[in-house]
Amino acid sequence: MAIEVRIPTILRSFTGGAKSVEGSGATIEELIADLDSRHSGLRDRLVDEQGLRRFVNVYLNDEDVRFLGGLTAPVSDGDTVTVLPAVAGGAR
Amino acid sequence: MLTISRALLDQIIAHARADHPDEACGVIAGPAGSDLPERFIAMTNAERSPTFYRFDSLEQLAVWREMDDRDEEPVVIYHSHTATEAYPSRTDISYASEPAAHYLLVSTREPDETEVRSYRIVDGAVTEEEVLITDGGEE
Q: Is B16 helix (H, G, I), strand (E, B) or coil?
A: helix
> How many separate domains does chain B show?
1
- Going along chain A from its start, the domains and CATH numbers come out as 3-85 (3.10.20.30)
b/e per residue B102-132 (b: at least 16 CB within 10 A) = bbbbbbbbeeeebebbbbbbeeeeeeeeeee
Evaluate whether residue B45 is within a structural domain.
yes
* CATH number, domain with residue B34: 3.40.140.10
**Mean pLDDT of the B68-81 span:** 96
CA gyration radius, chain B:
14
pLDDT of residue B78: 98
Is the pLDDT at A1 greater than 90, yes or no?
no
Which of A9, A59, A86 is closest, CB to CB, to B95? A86
Per residue in B23-65, pLDDT (tens digit) is 999 999 999 999 999 999 999 999 999 999 999 999 999 999 9
- As a whole number of angstroms, the distance between CA A9 and CA B99 comes to 9
A64 vs A83: CA distance, rounded Å: 10
Does some domain include residue B10? Answer: yes
- Model confidence at B67, in pLDDT bands (50, 70, 90)? very high
Q: Do B91 and A89 touch (CB under 8 A)?
A: yes
Q: What is the pLDDT of residues B82-104, one digit of tens each?
A: 999 999 999 999 999 998 899 99
The predicted structure's pLDDT at residue A92: 75
Residue B99 lies in a domain: yes
Asked if residue A87 has pLDDT above 70, the reply is yes
Within-domain flag for B42: yes
Taking an 8 Å cut-off on Cβ atoms, the answer to whether A87 and B100 are in contact is no
Q: State the pLDDT confidence band at A24, using cuts at 50, 70 and 90.
A: very high
The pLDDT score that the predictor gives to residue B138 is 47
Exposure string over A31-59, b if 16+ CB within 10 A, otherwise e: bbbbbbeebeebbebbbeeeebeeebbbb
Residue A36 has pLDDT above 90, yes or no: yes
- What span, in angstroms and rounded, lies between the C-alpha atoms of A23 and A1? 8
Element (H, E) at B11: helix B6-19
B50 touches chain A (CB under 8 A): yes
Distances (CA, A) of A47 to A13, B47, B68, B106: 17, 22, 25, 33
Q: Which residue of B has its CA nearest to A81?
A: B61
Q: What is the mean pLDDT of residues A33-43?
A: 97
A67 to chain B, closest Cα gap in Å: 11
Instruction: Name the residue facing B55 among A62, A86, A91 (closest C-beta).
Output: A86
Q: Which domain holds residue B17?
A: 2-134
DSSP state at residue B75: E
Minimal Cα distance from B108: which residue of A? A91
User: Does residue B25 belong to any structural domain of this protein?
Assistant: yes
In a domain, B139, yes or no: no
Interface check for B63 against chain A (CB to CB < 8 A): the answer is no
Work out the minimum CA distance from A56 to partner chain B, whole angstroms. 10
